[in-house]
A and B are shown apart, each in its own frame.
Chain A
């Protein structure tokens, strides 16, 4: 895994001086309401070395799956293409792409030398007849080929939507198997699209609710390994783990890193009372941030590190509160019908995602950080535990079906409420946490 990361410490090299049309007419504005997906074409990339043909085709497929999966793009299939792109450097026959109404065109080229892989790509605004942004080149290894595809797709998405990308990211989650009353749980990590699944723990102890460090190299989670729920930190590369909080007579859970990665927020329960504490990731001393007889849990820090949103039942039932990061008087921000839990601050800082329970149904929703403009994005028997994509536009969460055969699965939904879909994972899956962009 570290090797993959290392191989992607690569230069982003501008191919030419053809940068133009940064604010050209080709643009998807991601707003609420229904939009018409943008028609585009991504023909197989050009294989520039012998033996690169399969990767050249597969890379174009990864780009297409990423873009199609957003619901914002509609691919025009290869069989409708009039032109082929057989030479990356040759001028594009814009008329042929206009004729099939492809508004955007992605071309790419691949060369392989031993384990080294080089991918180049260009994005065209077909109707303007010009390139959208600069061509770019990525270098990596053949094993990391999917990541190179995600990087191309991120660049295309970014140029056309004006938003940051999120395809070159991973998800840590809890893989589930076995019957409902004896569920086996283990930590797993995968690419955001379900590829490259790896297990990080075995299933000998219950594990819950992992969270990435800001750099994505460590994971906090709760494990029953000691017989009691305790917060652990795990190194993703070496899979080495250690318990963070193990004071006798307590239990700890709901851990999250601070934005600088140096401290950890968590809930600690003592004598039946649950409060939010903070501790240095490399220290022992915990500091209590809340001190009410209520259940105070599920903390999440704002990206600027200044505030903490959390849930508390101090009013009588679960509601959301915001307090200063160092502790202090919390201010309630949720006032709608029902109960609110698991608040998560958006990486953009603008919204808070949450789980809402109302009239026997569960919802994933978002609100502004002052609690205004609440919008519910989903509804089902049991939806919970939202996690933000690194660009703050998409939310992944757990959906569990009801009854004795009920199982958990990961779903994602746009912050607009569009494009609800199941994430491809084999077996049961819960508690997703999205990594930062890699």
Chain B
């Protein structure tokens, strides 16, 4: 099984609320990061230690200008939140995916996506996240999120997305 399918399975497990398996969150345990008696479901978007919370409330992605890998001020704010979350939730590591829009040749866009992923990673490392918790991969223009051929779509496709994975090394 490829490491990616493992990640997908682990994430699926976490998203289904299988937190007892990961041991990082137990709503009945006051020493956990949740508050005892909290009225949310473990693993739901309201659970501040959940993947869903990270994706929707922290923000799992940052966007880039055309042909750029420089982090915007807005991107830095999102990454700062990501760094704080990762510091709190040390049982997770992450793969940062870099992507490009379709306005570019295939191989250049692979390299550009790598630059973007690396820029996000370097920021997280500068905020105290251990280098060995973060890996990067570039998809170039192979996996657009939006499919129109206009700036409205391109702007969402030029992205670096932080994909959480339960830390296999524990």
Residues of A within 8 A of B (CB): 179-183, 185, 205-206, 208-209, 222, 224-229, 249, 251, 253-254, 267, 269, 271-274, 295, 297-298, 311, 313, 317-318, 341-342, 355, 357, 360, 381-382, 384-385, 400, 402-404, 406, 431
By the criterion CB–CB under 8 Å, are A269 and B138 in contact? yes
Q: Does B143 have its Cβ within 8 Å of any Cβ on chain A?
A: yes
Q: Apart from A227-B4, A311-B108, what 19 extra A-B contacts exist at CB < 8 Å?
A: A180-B147, A182-B143, A206-B142, A227-B7, A229-B110, A229-B137, A269-B114, A269-B138, A272-B69, A272-B122, A273-B115, A273-B118, A274-B111, A295-B108, A298-B107, A298-B108, A342-B105, A357-B103, A403-B147
By the criterion CB–CB under 8 Å, are A181 and B106 in contact? no
Would you mind naming 9 contact pairs between A and B with Cβ atoms under 8 Å apart? Answer: A180-B147, A254-B107, A267-B107, A269-B110, A269-B114, A269-B138, A272-B118, A355-B105, A360-B103
Q: Does B3 have its Cβ within 8 Å of any Cβ on chain A?
A: yes
Interface string of B113-136 (1 = CB under 8 A from A): 011011101100000000000011
By the criterion CB–CB under 8 Å, are B148 and A341 in contact? no
Q: Does B46 have its Cβ within 8 Å of any Cβ on chain A?
A: no
By the criterion CB–CB under 8 Å, are B106 and A226 in contact? no
* CA–CA, A180 and B144, complex, Å: 7
Instruction: List the A side residues contacting B111 at CB < 8 Å.
Output: 267, 269, 274, 295, 297
Q: Does B146 have its Cβ within 8 Å of any Cβ on chain A?
A: yes
Instruction: List the B side residues contacting A384 at CB < 8 Å.
Output: 105-106
Instruction: List the A side residues contacting B110 at CB < 8 Å.
Output: 208, 222, 229, 251, 253-254, 269, 297
Q: Number of contacting residues on B, CB 8 A?
A: 36
* CA–CA, A182 and B142, complex, Å: 8
Instruction: List the B side residues contacting A274 at CB < 8 Å.
Output: 111, 114-115
By the criterion CB–CB under 8 Å, are B114 and A385 in contact? no
By the criterion CB–CB under 8 Å, are B104 and A357 in contact? yes
Q: Measured between C-beta atoms, what is the minimum distance from A223 to chain B in Å?
A: 11
Closest to B153 in A: A404
Closest to A293 in B: B115
Interface of B is mostly: mixed
Q: Measured between C-beta atoms, what is the minimum distance from B151 to chain A in Å?
A: 11
The answer to whether A228 and B105 touch (CB under 8 A), given A180-B147, A295-B112, A402-B149, is no
* CA–CA, A183 and B135, complex, Å: 24
Q: Does B169 have its Cβ within 8 Å of any Cβ on chain A?
A: no
Pick from B7, B117, B145: contact of A272, CB under 8 Å: B117
Instruction: List the B side residues contacting A205 at CB < 8 Å.
Output: 2
Instruction: List the B side residues contacting A317 at CB < 8 Å.
Output: 67
Q: Measured between C-beta atoms, what is the minimum distance from A387 to chain B in Å?
A: 13
Closest to B118 in A: A272
In the A-B complex, the 9 residue pairs with the closest CB atoms: A272-B118, A402-B149, A274-B111, A404-B147, A227-B4, A295-B111, A341-B105, A180-B147, A227-B3
The answer to whether A181 and B145 touch (CB under 8 A), given A229-B110, A317-B67, A342-B107, is yes
Q: Measured between C-beta atoms, what is the minimum distance from B47 to chain A in Å?
A: 27
Q: Does B102 have its Cβ within 8 Å of any Cβ on chain A?
A: yes
Within 8 A of A (CB), among B142-170: 142-149
By the criterion CB–CB under 8 Å, are B119 and A272 in contact? yes
* CA–CA, A311 and B105, complex, Å: 11
Q: Measured between C-beta atoms, what is the minimum distance from A245 to chain B in Å?
A: 14
Instruction: List the B side residues contacting A400 at CB < 8 Å.
Output: 102
Within 8 A of A (CB), among B66-112: 67, 69, 102-108, 110-112
By the criterion CB–CB under 8 Å, are B2 and A227 in contact? yes
Interface string of B1-38 (1 = CB under 8 A from A): 01110010000000000000000000000000000000
Instruction: List the A side residues contacting B108 at CB < 8 Å.
Output: 295, 297-298, 311, 313, 318, 341
The answer to whether A227 and B105 touch (CB under 8 A), given A181-B146, A205-B2, A272-B118, is no
Q: Measured between C-beta atoms, what is the minimum distance from A205 to chain B in Å?
A: 7
Instruction: List the A side residues contacting B121 at CB < 8 Å.
Output: 272
The answer to whether A227 and B114 touch (CB under 8 A), given A180-B144, A357-B103, A403-B149, is no
Instruction: List the B side residues contacting A311 at CB < 8 Å.
Output: 105, 108
Q: Measured between C-beta atoms, what is the minimum distance from B122 to chain A in Å?
A: 8
Closest to A225 in B: B2
Instruction: List the A side residues contacting B142 at CB < 8 Å.
Output: 183, 185, 206, 208
Instruction: List the A side residues contacting B144 at CB < 8 Å.
Output: 180-181
Instruction: List the A side residues contacting B145 at CB < 8 Å.
Output: 181
Instruction: List the A side residues contacting B4 at CB < 8 Å.
Output: 224, 227
By the criterion CB–CB under 8 Å, are A297 and B107 in contact? yes
Pick from B102, B138, B147: contact of A382, CB under 8 Å: B102
* CA–CA, A64 and B137, complex, Å: 48
Instruction: List the A side residues contacting B69 at CB < 8 Å.
Output: 272
Instruction: List the A side residues contacting B143 at CB < 8 Å.
Output: 181-182
* CA–CA, A180 and B147, complex, Å: 6
* CA–CA, A419 and B100, complex, Å: 33
* CA–CA, A431 and B142, complex, Å: 13
